[in-house]
Structure 1
Amino acid sequence: MDQADFVRDTVERARAAVPAGEVLRADHGLGLAVRAPSPGYFRRPRVLLSERRALGGWLLMPFAWLLRLLTATLNPIERLVEAFTEREKKQGKPFRGGWNSMAGHLARGLVPRTKNLANPALVVMQVTDRRLQIVYVSRVRTFTGQPGPVEAGWATDIRNVAWIRDRRDVVGGDHEIGFVDGSWCSVHFSGKGWSGVSDVFPVRLSHLDPVPHPA
């Protein structure tokens, strides 16, 4: 299976998480934009807990526990780093709002933690007639060769999504998604076919349009 087929298969598998009775309008692989700030380890959601840990994951377990211990020990330092991040946001970095804002929850959901460190979850964004949600797709297959689990993650009512801004002037596939609470974050649509995803959003902006301010 080549890369294009792999991406298409991932997106199709994620459709199992579309809630019954809702109409899927767009879906695509999604991640944080490279230029966006990344949430700390313990802010990231734990996902795909039913997934079996592959051999590589077992081998990496000691390093994972060491990382957790080190991160817990350095939690005050993480707060200090976050304070600097907040300062950077005010200076025009590609993120607005705290980690508990709508954009913050979206950003946190795009960098999940999994048991299987050797095969991190694939993330797909879905837009239905009622919600925007992110879905996690396991890379791992079961012992019988069947695909691993698919799990719905953070979601919000589609009415909470205020606008989307195309930032192909920075990187092709980069977009900023804004919410009614005034927060927004920069994401990256991976692979081909991303140019039509923004068509399903209520307000579409180009990089020449200013970021809207909440009323």
Structure 2
Amino acid sequence: MDQASFVRETVERARALVPAGEVLRADHGATLAVRAPSPGHFRRPRVLRSERRTLGGWLWLPVGWLFRLFTVTSWNPVEWLVEAFTESEKKRQGKPFHGGWNSMAGHLARGLAPRTKNPSNPASVVMQVTDRRLQIVYVSRVRSFTGKPGLVEAGWVTDIRNVTWIRDRSDVVGGDHEIGFVDGSWCTVKFWGDGWSRVADAFPLRLSHLDPLPYQR
């Protein structure tokens, strides 16, 4: 399956979780922007828990145990050093995030970086905008031996009235958009695949990179 077909199938499978009675205004594959800060391991939601572990997952298991051994405390020097080096590079590319991890933007950022039982088969993330909500859906990339698609699971969701604006940042990276919330927080996401330029039309207020950021608390 080519990349375009994979994207279409992923988005279509996610549509099964649009709540009845709501109008789907836009949906697209999404990730946290490369230049945005990444949530730590335990801030990332664990998804697709009921999915069976594959051979690759079993082979990864000892590595996962070692990783947990080094991350059992709320603060550890290994994670701190990794984040310090990566964040220093990202800061040179422009501010991509505003608000803490417990802000609305922080919850969105965390939702865009899920972790699964089988790290060798990460979940694809689809962002959906309806007339009532902004929602994240996780789509398993794993297929059964008979070719049957894997699980589809709803993730973080918020009332669409909590979303105040979206700002196109394709001047920095194609597909990058900043999404702002009523609490003053915002984060940068990347819409991947063709057709991302139409997604912003579904949001309450669309801004270009030439427009100033709305008031921040």
Bin for the TM-score computed over the shorter chain:
over 0.9
In 2, distance between residues paired with 1:60 and 1:200? 40
> Are residue 17 (structure 1) and residue 17 (structure 2) matched?
yes
CA contact (8 A) 1:180 1:214 kept: no
Tell me the SS of whatever aligns to 2:46.
coil
Percent identity for Structure 1 against Structure 2? 79
- Size of the aligned set, in residue pairs, is 213
In 1, distance between residues paired with 2:74 and 2:159? 36
* Structure 2 unaligned residues grouped into runs of 5+: none
> Are residue 27 (structure 1) and residue 27 (structure 2) matched?
yes
Alignment match, 2:96: 94
Q: Deviations over 1:113-170 (max 9, x none)?
A: 1011111000000000100010000001124321100000000000000000000100
Tell me the SS of whatever aligns to 2:116.
coil
Tell me the SS of whatever aligns to 1:127.
strand
Alignment match, 1:160: 162
In 2, distance between residues paired with 1:33 and 1:101? 17
Alignment match, 1:206: 208
Alignment match, 1:151: 153
Tell me the SS of whatever aligns to 1:175.
strand
**1:131-210 mapped onto 2 (5 Å cutoff):** 131-210=133-212
Write the letter of the residue equivalent to 2:178. Answer: E
TM-score, normalised by the number of residues in structure 1:
0.92
* Structure 1 unaligned residues grouped into runs of 5+: none
Distance 1:38 1:23, change over 3 A: same
CA contact (8 A) 1:52 1:142 kept: no
In 2, distance between residues paired with 1:21 and 1:142? 32
In 2, distance between residues paired with 1:8 and 1:31? 16
> Cα distance, 1:42 vs. partner?
0.3
Structural RMSD (CA): 2.3
